[in-house]
Amino acid sequence: MASKRNAALEALGAAPRQSEPGHQTEALPPTAKPSKAVSKVMVYMPAKVARKFKEIAFTEERKANDVYLDALDLYLKKHGHGGIKDVSGR
């Protein structure tokens, strides 16, 4: 039974890469940690709503996070908080 990765590659018509003996791969640089000015937040929403956000992001060639931030900015402005820039600048 092929692994999921190999099955996906086979479906695309590509052969899985075989590592060569003695071949060393380049070490990846450590990932950057997010700034302390940014917090990670988990949001639970209906699956169809999450899919709609992803669809909007795709059609606008943006990341879903950018669409979430636009929605949050509008919400903050609607409730008199002036948007993300005003709140984060306090």
pLDDT tens-place string over residues 7-63: 666 766 655 555 555 555 566 666 666 677 788 999 999 999 999 999 999 999 999
Q: How confident is the model at residue 89 (pLDDT cuts 50, 70, 90)?
A: confident
With a threshold of 0.75, does the pTM exceed it? Answer: no
More confident position, 64 or 25: 64
Token code pair at residue 49:
């709503």
Provide the 8-state DSSP code for 73: H
Cα separation, 67 vs 54, in Å, equals 8
Domain chopping of the chain, boundaries: 61-90
